[in-house]
A and B are shown apart, each in its own frame.
Chain A
């Protein structure tokens, strides 16, 4: 585990979630230091997205505790957690396709920061600049290419002024060149002070950003540590990576 002396952006202790008799998250604990980057990997159905849902408050936890920058957020609802500084991207980008790129990001800036539309504008513009979407600001979001929609996911998240950014399989479907662009962007975001937690199957992208990796299987944490250790862990190989080294 990371040294407790460093300030932690996010800690989760003993998270549990069941749907009826089915436990999808079992006693999961994790912590990410401020400014750090944690990768989360695991087989399909391991409960990775559910874990994100528990952290963002979209799904109420069964038991367990979550703190954000030292503050206990376990009782907060999703909206309060967003205002407290968590932002998240989704696996399948779903922008408001009838609105322009700028309008999509403006909504995020306004509601995510609790500001009026007017006060939110500079934040929206900054987010567009950072993600390279400024030239496409007035384009209808429904017509954007896949890479740009992923950028839009990031811009929307950034516009809320997060201190913690959760990325859910954002590199899926990208060509290698697009992946490089995306990774650079995520690195820039981290460089600006945002802590990153990233679920990903595209390992070569993940490895360029994260300091540590956490492995989930059947809702439980089965391994956690630096990337080299994780990738050579035989249990992780048998359960997730397969015989071929994925990197």
Chain B
């Protein structure tokens, strides 16, 4: 592939004495969707935190748009173009829906995505724009969380469990919107439990098992059985 927009080289990361990731290599081609799968606890969320600098990593361990970013602070990531849709939504309690979006818009980059356009994508949120984020249902909060990433006009979005708590029709809508999002120049890594869906949607697949990459390559290369087997290792 031409230079990947985001790549990880021999990344080791952990929490204090506990090492969670061992020598992770990963490359995200520009405009593509990478499916990140693995059992719970395999290290998927940890990998996202390490990419964003929320966990310490080496200077050369993460490269973004050709530049090493391992030495940069997390607050620089959104402005660079790297956005996170975290596990568990993590909306700001004291902020309304609109304020959550405005904060991200301010910390991110100028572009086609605006607060209004996010409301176009998720119309249910529009009438709740001034409501405290905690008053929304779980699925609606997930929509706001995704909106927060979009409104920063990123180049890469890291989706940690995007479909968690969403009604099937909304999951369909979000995944249906993904091709358009990708075509607008955003690349994505998606953590997803539904193996069938990830095989259909993703260009490449990476499977983690206990902090190591056990499977990586074009998603068309792997059968569902192979992927499921990789979850448990051998």
Contact = CB atoms under 8 A, between A and B. Distances in A.
Do A and B contact each other directly (Cβ–Cβ < 8 Å)? yes
Contacts, number: 82
Contacts of B76: none
Contacts of B143: 44
Interface residues of A, number: 30
A240 B137 contact: no
A241 B169 CA distance: 5
Q: Is the interface of A mostly helix, strand, loop or mixed?
A: loop
Contact of B139 (A45, A241, A244): A45
B41 interface: yes
B165 A43 contact: no
Nearest to A169: B165
Q: Report the contact-size class of chain B (Cβ under 8 Å from the partner).
A: 20 to 34
Interface string B89-110: 0000000000000000000000
B121 interface: no
A139 interface: no
Interface stretch (A75-83, A99-107, A170-178, A221-229): A170-178
Contacts of A145: 40-41
Contacts of A203: 168
Interface of A: 41-46, 48-49, 91-92, 145-147, 169, 172-178, 201, 203, 239-244, 246
Contacts of B220: none
Contact of A240 (B87, B140, B167, B194): B167
B40 A44 contact: no
21 contacts: A41-B167, A45-B124, A45-B139, A45-B140, A46-B137, A91-B165, A146-B40, A147-B40, A169-B165, A173-B87, A173-B161, A174-B40, A176-B194, A177-B39, A177-B228, A178-B40, A201-B139, A201-B166, A201-B171, A242-B168, A244-B172
Contacts of B169: 43, 239-242
B40 A43 contact: no
B29 interface: no
Given A175-B193, A175-B231, A176-B193, A44 B168 contact: no
Contacts of A241: 168-169
A203 B169 CA distance: 12
Contacts of A240: 167-169
Interface in B110-137: 124, 136-137
A169 B139 CA distance: 11
B39 A44 contact: no
